[in-house]
Amino acid sequence: MQPTEFQTDAIKPIECVKEAWELIKPNYWLLMAIIIVGALVGAVTLYVLIGAMVCGIMLCYLKCIDGDRLVFDDLWKGMKLFWPSLPVTILVFVPAVVWAVVLFSTIYLPLIMAAVMGNDVREGPIWTVFGIALVVDFVVAIIMICFHTLLTFSFPLIVDRGLTGFQPAIVSARAVLKNLKGLVGLIGINFVLAIAGELMCGFGLYLVMPLVMATSLVAYRKVFPRMKALNLNPPAPDLYPVLR
């Protein structure tokens, strides 16, 4: 199997959730700690290291799913993938950050400043501008969700298949389109899990994070089966016929 090959119509959402839970149960708290620490490192470095941390988290979860021995230090192996993951990191995070800054500085900030400074601004125009901002924000959010869905498998492809540059994004988009129905169903289930976590005073969201992450990577493994390692050891001498 080539690194860019994948299965089609391979995702069954309910089965992915059940399988993910069974696989992560023995390492549940360790996997939660890995997510939290990785997210904190990404945040305190102003998201400079977020791509490397995501790769480290993905590596840990894939090891758990594949039945390999998992240790916390596996998270830091993502640092070796900082440069290979940089193009995908830019694709995933930069558009969202740029849009948030533009939207806040051009629409919301002037409204806030007007309210704080007590400027004579009529209520009607304020609500009109605010309504337009909400509509535009909603449309852009839908576009972002669709775009990020196409990149679902990008980071795992860097970790698992060694793809670099923009190739992970291209292969991910192709695989997502060939497994779109199952992936949309899985996203819906993960959204329900996240809402259920939020309803538990917000703290429950942290409890469901390992399961949400695991279901996504179980789905990845269904689409991109584990590649067999090449046997580079020479055959035993007794396998050769005796030359006479």
Is 237 inside a domain boundary? Answer: no
Is 4 inside a domain boundary? Answer: no
Give the tens place of pLDDT for each residue, 176-220: 999 999 999 999 999 999 998 888 876 788 899 999 999 999 999
Is 199 inside a domain boundary? Answer: yes
Q: CB of 215 within 8 A of CB of 16? A: yes
Q: Confidence band (pLDDT; 50, 70, 90) for 121?
A: low
Q: CB of 111 within 8 A of CB of 85? A: no
The predicted structure's pLDDT at residue 102: 76
Asked if residue 244 has pLDDT above 60, the reply is no
Q: Confidence band (pLDDT; 50, 70, 90) for 232?
A: very low
Is 92 inside a domain boundary? Answer: yes
In which domain, by residue range, is 218 found?
Answer: 13-226
The predicted structure's pLDDT at residue 120: 54
Is 162 inside a domain boundary? Answer: yes
How much is the pTM? 0.85
Domain count, the chain: 1
Would you call 164 exposed, middle or buried from its count of C-beta atoms within 10 A (0-12, 13-18, 19+)?
middle
CB atoms closer than 10 angstroms to residue 113 = 10
Is 8 inside a domain boundary? Answer: no
Half-sphere exposure of 114 (CA within 13 A, CB side): 15
Is 244 inside a domain boundary? Answer: no
The predicted structure's pLDDT at residue 27: 95
**The length of the chain, given as a count of residues:** 244
The predicted structure's pLDDT at residue 243: 46
Is 30 inside a domain boundary? Answer: yes
The predicted structure's pLDDT at residue 231: 46
The predicted structure's pLDDT at residue 110: 66
Q: How far is CA 158 from CA 32, 64, 155, in A?
A: 22, 17, 5
Give the tens place of pLDDT for each residue, 77-117: 999 999 999 999 999 988 878 877 877 776 667 666 666 66
